[in-house]
Chain A
Amino acid sequence: MESFLLDLLASPSWPFAASRGVIVIGVLMTIAGYSVLLERKASAWIQGRIGPNRTSHPLIAWIPLLGTFLMKGGFIQPAADGLKFLFKEDPLPGHVRKGYYVLAPIVALAPALATVVMLPFGRLPDGNVIALCPGADVGVLFMFAISSLGVYGIALAGWSANSKYPFLGAVRGSAQLISYELAMGLSVLTVFLATAAPGVDSPLSLVAIVDSQKGAWNVLGHPLAALIFLICVFAETNRHPFDMPESETDLVGGFHTEYGSFKFGLFFVAEYGHMVIGSSLFILMFLGGWHVLPWLPTVGTGVVATLAGLAAFFLKLAFFLFFFVWVRWTVPRFRYDQVMRIGWRVLLPAAIVNLLAYFAWYAYKG
């Protein structure tokens, strides 16, 4: 590890690598921030309201049309929200386990940022993949392994808060993650089976999975797997209707009840970061990644193709972030026992049956 870091520092390309990392993490954080805005705006629209439309800055308000547009669209709001979290008093309650209490938000956010390393966004004109760590053969495994670590942040927060409701939230969150991780893993196995055609080196790499969807997207060939995976993504990101750990009606605020100011902000960003990661995984594995349409992988050539791919990817991502919000303001929260029943008695058997069916199909096909 040390020699790797030293090599990295010595190599002439490390500023490039570092700046690339900063850019990708910046993009992720920006998307997370603006999905908070999307959440506020979309919930307002669904409820017949307008949503944030007042926040502005004199320098921005001064721009003739754009300034008004930015203000009415609430585009300055995420910055204001972030600054508010930053400048609020950050009290440390007397009854918490202090070290873990401080550690928990960091543990919640770090996996979300770490998984971006493996996330491919598109393809450059020279055939290389736009990602921080493009060649990784085990991309999917890494993403599953690391993104599940996010629940440690929740568990740690609930436990260290030393208070009953956060603790209940943490227990629920952990149980839910374990229940849905199984169905999630089993459902994507069929995708790997489909990808592992002869001639594909690394069927576990996200790039190979995307490349295998040049024709039909996996969502067409594996609809049940896609559905199970989508439901599990909702559960894993603790979004409605599965937001058991937060569950503000019965658990006050759930695992982050005792948190305030920027620590709460970190949990908030982590939740949206996980949403971005989960949606990206779904897009890469089932919706053809940066392919524009089924049976229409690219439009144009060279730079145009790259931009079209990036646009396709980010449009799909934007739709999924909107879909998360849309579902949240549509479906009421499941009861805890319902969550467990859906996970163990519906999704897991369905995923197993689905997997066996595809085993049989591929065995029959040879």
Chain B
Amino acid sequence: MAVKVVERRPLTLAERTYLPQILAGLRVTWENMVRPPVTLQYPDERPAIPQNYRGVPTLVRDPEGREKCVSCQLCEFVCPPKAIRITPGEIPADAPTAHVEKAPKEFEINMLRCIYCGLCQEVCPEEAIWLQTQYSMTGLSREAMVNDKARLYELGGTLPDAHRKWDVKKTEAERQAGGAH
């Protein structure tokens, strides 16, 4: 490969005194100084969090306030740091959602272990677990950093549900049952 020798221009007298460069530098810093600061004064001002932010994992309800999680435990299995612990439970036969069959009796996410990877949200077949916009979790003890089911639903709230998977299944089952007769 041919080497191209770049001729170095000797410094002019003005450049060798440094002074023009220093003055130019002073101008740059002055322009920076009169510019408004970029500091975000954190506890008083909060950053704007985008809606697809991967924050604290939460459990969400469907628009009718029903529990979406069916305690399949896929998230528990996929969770790399093993932060999720689910105790599955049955839905009583006389409940209106009895056809869903299962719901978590207890659902715990240990936020000291969670690495916010979002695999639980990705794996969930029910879209019941969501990493939402909360980015700051604090607690005074290790126990306080374990989010139980009530806390997870409190954090999660309700998200719109476009699929209504279980409603579709129920009407389908009823239609087929009706057609059989």
Contact = CB atoms under 8 A, between A and B. Distances in A.
A47 B26 contact: no
B37 A45 contact: yes
Contacts of B29: 46, 326, 329-330
Contacts of A326: 26, 29-30
A48 B32 CA distance: 7
Nearest to B16: A346
Contact of A44 (B26, B30, B37): B37
Contact of B39 (A42, A50, A331): A50
Contacts of A329: 29
A88 interface: no
Nearest to B41: A50
B28 interface: yes
Contacts of A80: none
A326 B37 CA distance: 17
Interface string B82-112: 0000000000000000000000000000000
A138 interface: no
Contacts, number: 33
A46 B32 CA distance: 5
Contacts of A48: 32, 35, 37-39
A49 interface: yes
A50 B32 contact: no
Q: What band does the interface of chain B fall in when counting residues whose beta carbon is under 8 Å from A?
A: 10 to 19
Contacts of B28: 330
A327 interface: yes
Interface in A79-129: none
Interface in B3-19: none
B39 A49 contact: yes
Contacts of A42: 33
Contacts of A45: 32-33, 37
Contacts of A330: 22, 25-26, 28-29
Interface string B23-53: 0011011101101011101000000000000
Nearest to A47: B32
A337 to B, nearest CB: 15
B11 to A, nearest CB: 14
Interface residues of A, number: 13
A50 B22 contact: no
A212 to B, nearest CB: 27
B16 to A, nearest CB: 9
A329 B33 CA distance: 11
Interface string A49-82: 1100000000000000000000000000000000
Interface in A297-324: none
Given A50-B41, A326-B30, A331 B22 contact: yes
A320 to B, nearest CB: 14
Interface in A321-352: 326-327, 329-331
A44 B32 CA distance: 10
Contacts of A46: 29, 32-33
Nearest to A42: B33
B26 A49 contact: no
A327 B33 contact: no
B15 to A, nearest CB: 14
A49 B41 CA distance: 10
A329 B30 CA distance: 10
B37 A50 contact: yes
B173 to A, nearest CB: 62
Contacts of A47: 32
B31 to A, nearest CB: 10
A45 B35 CA distance: 8
Interface in B119-150: none
Nearest to A51: B37
A45 B30 CA distance: 9
A17 B160 CA distance: 81
In this complex, the member of A42, A45, A326, A327 whose beta carbon has the largest number of chain B beta carbons within 10 angstroms is A45
Nearest to A53: B41
A59 B30 CA distance: 36
In this complex, the member of B22, B29, B37, B38 whose beta carbon has the largest number of chain A beta carbons within 10 angstroms is B29
A327 B39 CA distance: 23
A142 B35 CA distance: 43
Contacts of A49: 37-39
Given A46-B32, A47-B32, A331 B37 contact: no
Nearest to B34: A45
Contact of A331 (B25, B35, B38, B41): B25
Given A45-B33, A49-B37, A327-B22, 13 more contacts: A42-B33, A45-B32, A46-B32, A46-B33, A48-B32, A48-B37, A49-B38, A50-B37, A326-B30, A327-B26, A330-B26, A330-B28, A331-B25
15 contacts: A42-B33, A45-B33, A45-B37, A46-B33, A48-B35, A48-B39, A49-B37, A49-B39, A50-B39, A50-B41, A326-B30, A329-B29, A330-B25, A330-B26, A330-B28
Interchain residue pairs A-B with the least CB separation, the first 5: A45-B33, A330-B25, A48-B38, A330-B29, A50-B39
